[in-house]
Amino acid sequence: MEKFLQLTLTGLTNGAIFSLVALGFVLIYKASDVINFAQGDFLLVGAYITFAFVGQMGLPWTVGVFLTMVLAVLLGLLVERFVLRPLIGEPIISVIMVTIGLSSMLRAFVSSIWGTTGQPFPPFIPNFNVNIGTAVIPADRIIAIILAAILLIIFTLFFRYSREGIAMRATADDQQAALSMGISVKKIFALAWSIAAVTAALAGVLVANIIGVSGVVAGIGLRVFPVVILGGLDSIPGAILGGIVIGLLEAYTGGYLGSGLSQVVPFIVLILILMVKPYGLFGEVRIERV
Amino acid sequence: MLALNNVEVIYNDVILVLKGMSLEVPKGKIVALLGSNGAGKSTTLKAISGLLKPEDGEVTDGEIIFEGEKIHHLDAADIVRRGIFQVMEGRRVFEHLDVEQNLIAGSYTRKDRRNIRQDMEQVYTYFPRLRERRRQTAGYLSGGEQQMLAIGRALMARPKLMMLDEPSLGLAPLLVQEIFEIIQRINKEQGTTILLVEQNARLALEVADYAYIMENGRIVLEGEPATLKENADVREFYLGLNEVGKRKSYRDVKHYKRRKRWLS
Ligand SMILES: Nc1ncnc2c1ncn2[C@@H]1O[C@H](COP(=O)(O)OP(=O)(O)O)[C@@H](O)[C@H]1O
Ligand SMILES: [Mg+2]
């Protein structure tokens, strides 16, 4: 029971972080049909920038994280404006190649400034242990889950009720019709990229807080693929649920069946689910009416 | 209020679709733009609303003037903000959003956000069926309900000029009747000027104050509905009321398909 609780907690932490990363990924895909292979590197950049502000320059972490968010928005806007926008209308494979190129560039940028060896992250989440029943649970994980959950709730409300959130979904549905409402599609793309960059940067900070800053942080970003395929490439609730399911699956298989299997079993489950639901659990079905 | 002077539109840099198109829409009126399939009616509306860009179309000559200012170089968002709203052909509701979210999308450019609730209520009084379905995903509404939603969405923008592209397309006659009545009410009660594109000439001539008939990218005939209804060509080709023995055979063949459409 104690082990189960521990594993559940680990799974939920990782899952909540996967969900955050997947959210940004899905947003970009929905708005502009781009599969962003650089999503993992947004985590990396976010983690290192916070590390620079808080760990190296000694700023209070609230200020450091805030500045990181500002820089992440800028990064998202720059990438959208100068890398992706010129590619509108190009074949999808060129766009994918460009995001892969962007990924290498960001990685090179990080290693040229901070080197390639991992470093400890200044713990901004106080680390103490909480006793739940017989289980001893590190508080940083619980706090990471709570922070991720708050972010996910904010975004869910944003897409359901806010004018800009609804406009984003409208653009994803029918670009020309969105244009006819006076929605600026350019602005929506920019918004999608900034949100994706911010959520990824924050996820990067949460990951780094647990495992320190190193190239591994970007690897977490790559695990987003099973998540979005499971949830449905174009579904925001799917991204959130998919993240949590994959997080838990990895933790349980790692804990009960051995760590070698923890990355494999989620893929097996994924394939089984796709056989039943080809659009993913929540993927938007083409609505066909007669 | 709106004037097109000799407008020329080219798609993909080569396909000339509008060839010197001119028309005028006076404030507060309902103006009908009629013509058979492929005449360039939708292109005309998109030229006005700035929606040609995503289709690689461009106004290459002439001018479009709205309330005294040239608007053919503005982008779609600016044109909506100035008060022109196009209800696109084929309804084009946001399928994965619910009815209410579609209406909110329609109000995107509104500055007076406080009045939006109240306007939503007004849409629901015009279309009570939308109120019942306010939480339903728009993609699953019937064709008629989607058309109502498309018009409701336009109302949410409080446009000065509403342009409707074939609102009767694919709907049962009774529904078409209902929708046309509401279009007339919107015109009277809200004072919204209306530019109505239709293939269904008979109905459009019932509600319009003035009508244009277009062929091949330009206007070939215009006038008050009463006058047009008396015109022999209109009767024959647009209303399907041919008088026996008066048909010219080659035109007959050429227009056969078309005429069948008008009859429906
Ligand atoms: N995006 C486009 N690219 C090229 N040609 C087009 C495009 N849209 C319409 N056309 C052509 O322009 C002509 C007029 O089309 P349209 O304006 O849709 O006519 P209508 O609405 O009167 O049926 C047609 O011959 C059509 O093939
Ligand atoms: Mg048309």
Report the mean per-residue pLDDT for chain B. 90
Which has the higher per-residue pLDDT, B144 or B261?
B144
Give residue limits of the domains in chain B.
Answer: 1-83+160-167+192-221, 231-264
Contacts of B88 in chain A (CB under 8 A): 176-177, 180
Q: How large a percentage of chain B has pLDDT more than 90?
A: 81
Contact between chains at A173 and B88 (C-beta distance less than 8 A): no
Instruction: For ligand 2, an ion, list residues with CB under 5 A.
Output: B 42, 89
Q: Could you give phi then psi for residue A283, rounded to 5 degrees? A: -55, 145
Contact between chains at B95 and A173 (C-beta distance less than 8 A): yes
Alpha helix locations (H) across chain A? Answer: 2-32, 39-50, 61-78, 92-114, 139-161, 163-173, 175-180, 185-211, 216-222, 224-231, 236-252, 265-276
Residue pointed to by tokens 């007076």: B112
**Beta bridge partners of residue B65, listed in sequence order:** B3, B70
Would you say residue A17 lies in a domain? yes
Is there an atom of ligand 1 within 6 Å of B37 CB? yes
Q: Does B193 touch chain A (CB under 8 A)?
A: no
Tell me, which fold does domain B1-83+160-167+192-221 have in CATH?
Rossmann fold (3.40.50)
pLDDT at position A269: 81
Domain count, chain A: 1
Is there an atom of ligand 1 within 6 Å of B42 CB? yes
State mean pLDDT over A22-39: 87
Would you say residue A230 lies in a domain? no
pLDDT band of residue B264 (cuts 50, 70, 90) is: very low
Which has the higher per-residue pLDDT, A132 or A239?
A239
pLDDT in tens, B238-255: 776 655 544 444 444 455
Is there an atom of ligand 1 within 6 Å of B43 CB? yes
pLDDT in tens, B86-105: 999 999 999 999 999 999 99
Q: Does A284 touch chain B (CB under 8 A)?
A: yes
State mean pLDDT over B126-155: 96
State mean pLDDT over B173-189: 95
Q: How large a percentage of chain A has pLDDT more than 90?
A: 35
Calpha distance A229→A236 (Å, rounded): 12
Full-model pTM: 0.87
Calpha distance A60→A65 (Å, rounded): 9
Region of A235 (left: φ > 0; alpha: ψ -120 to 50; beta: rest) is: beta
Report the mean per-residue pLDDT for chain A. 87
Chain A nearest C-alpha distance from B192 (Å): 17
Cα B147 to ligand 2 centre (Å)? 15
Q: How large a percentage of chain A has pLDDT more than 70?
A: 97
pLDDT in tens, A59-114: 998 999 999 999 999 999 999 898 888 887 778 788 889 999 999 999 999 999 99
pLDDT at position A84: 84
Indicate which atom in ligand 1 lies nearest the CA of residue B41: 22
Indicate which atom in ligand 1 lies nearest the CA of residue B39: 22
Range of the domain at A103: 2-117+129-214
pLDDT in tens, A263-276: 787 788 878 888 88
ipTM entry: 0.88
Calpha distance B154→B162 (Å, rounded): 7
pLDDT band of residue A133 (cuts 50, 70, 90) is: confident
Which has the higher per-residue pLDDT, B248 or A285?
A285
Compare all CA atoms of chain B with the CA of A284 and give the residue at the minimum distance.
Answer: B96
Region of A230 (left: φ > 0; alpha: ψ -120 to 50; beta: rest) is: alpha
Closest ligand to Cα B33: 1
Other Cβ atoms less than 10 A from the Cβ of A183: the count is 25
- Choosing from B11, B43, B257 the residue with most ligand 1 atoms within 8 A of its CB, the one to mutate for a pocket test is B43
Cα B90 to ligand 2 centre (Å)? 9
pLDDT at B258 over 50: no
Interface test with chain A among B95, B114, B119, B163, by most A beta carbons within 10 Å:
B95
pLDDT at B259 over 50: no
pLDDT at A173 over 60: yes
Would you say residue A164 lies in a domain? yes
Distances A52 to A48, A110, A209 between C-alpha atoms, Å: 6, 11, 13
A34 contacts A189 by C-beta, under 8 angstroms: no
**What count of residues does chain A have?**
290
Contact between chains at A177 and B88 (C-beta distance less than 8 A): yes
pLDDT at A188 over 60: yes
Would you say residue A48 lies in a domain? yes
pLDDT at position B103: 98
Calpha distance B262→A93 (Å, rounded): 46
A171-175, A217-221, A248-252, range with the lowest pLDDT:
A217-221
pLDDT in tens, B227-236: 998 887 777 7
Chain B nearest C-alpha distance from A227 (Å): 22
Is there an atom of ligand 1 within 6 Å of B53 CB? no
pLDDT in tens, B20-49: 999 999 999 999 999 989 999 999 999 999
Residues 6+ away with beta carbon under 8 Å from A105: none
pLDDT band of residue A289 (cuts 50, 70, 90) is: low
A221 contacts A42 by C-beta, under 8 angstroms: yes
